[in-house]
Amino acid sequence: MIIRTAFRPLAFITLTLLVVGCASSPTGRSQFLLISPEAAILESEAAYLSTVGALDQEGKLVTDPKTMGRVSRITGRLVTVAEQNFPGSRDWQWSVAIIDDPETVNAWCMAGGRMALYTGLISQLELTDDELAQIMGHEISHALANHTAERMSRAMATTIGVVAVGVAADNSGAAMAGAALLANVALELPNSRIAETEADTIGMELATRAGYDPEAAVTLWQKMGSLNDQRPPEFLSTHPEPENRQAALQRQIPSMLALNPTRTKAPITEIEIVR
């Protein structure tokens, strides 16, 4: 859905020639990237605009002032903390599309801070503000830690041969097919378990510094696990939950509480709620 227009052939071909090499995540983990974080942001922007445009035409974007205000307030505080701790994100075009889909339990954040939140995630889990902050903090953390570029790099490694054949034959159709294949694989690939653990930790810290209860990270996954007993939510299809995930989050609560013991709310950075 998202990436059908994500990689323009000429841009993609150029990027395949630029092996970025090693980088480090915010936790110090070594990352090998075939696509730069900057290129991931560029391609994500095109994909996001295409996706949001289609949702708008279908009448799927939420315009309820109460829902928009709640999401804007919570996410705006998280963005304030993100920009304080990750200066490179200050130039991002932060935005959230709230998608009217009560059956879908999902949320995501592309490289560059462009996000989506499905109403089913809020309604089916009956999220508190603290739990919603954990969700949005987790997703924002994937972008901050360049996990989008990592996932695209994995897809590139899988499909680079297909595109190379098209380029060698001067066959734009083959190049297009290769780019489309890369896009689909990138979309479907889940984040690695290490990336999920990083996003759990970074997201929990963002939410705590923003003034939200870190214990909500545990109650959130308890609710998610309960829903999973009935039918697996889409959120878990791309956010694998190890058996010890709740325990790992629980162990971090004392150190998180020390970051903001009074739970003072961060200022709200204005972000775009797409409508």
Q: Catalytic residues, which ones?
A: 139
Q: Which helix (H) or strand (E) holds 109?
A: strand 107-109
Identify whether the C-beta of residue 51 lies closer than 8 Å to the C-beta of residue 1.
yes
Output the CA torsion sign for 97, 98, 103, 106: positive
Q: At 123, phi and psi to the nearest 5?
A: -75, -45
- Cβ–Cβ under 8 Å, residues 220 and 134: yes
CA gap 114, 150 in Å, rounded: 17
What one-letter code names the amino acid at 264? T
Instruction: Evaluate the CA torsion angle 242, 244, 247, 251 in order and state its sign.
Output: negative
* Neighbouring-strand partners of residue 15: none
The number of helix segments (H) and strand segments (E) in the chain equals 11, 6
* Structure token pair of residue 51: 């996706």
Residue type, 113: G
Q: What are the CA-CA distances from residue 43 to residues 24, 46, 79, 177, 217 (Å)? A: 21, 5, 21, 17, 31
Find the length of the chain. Answer: 275
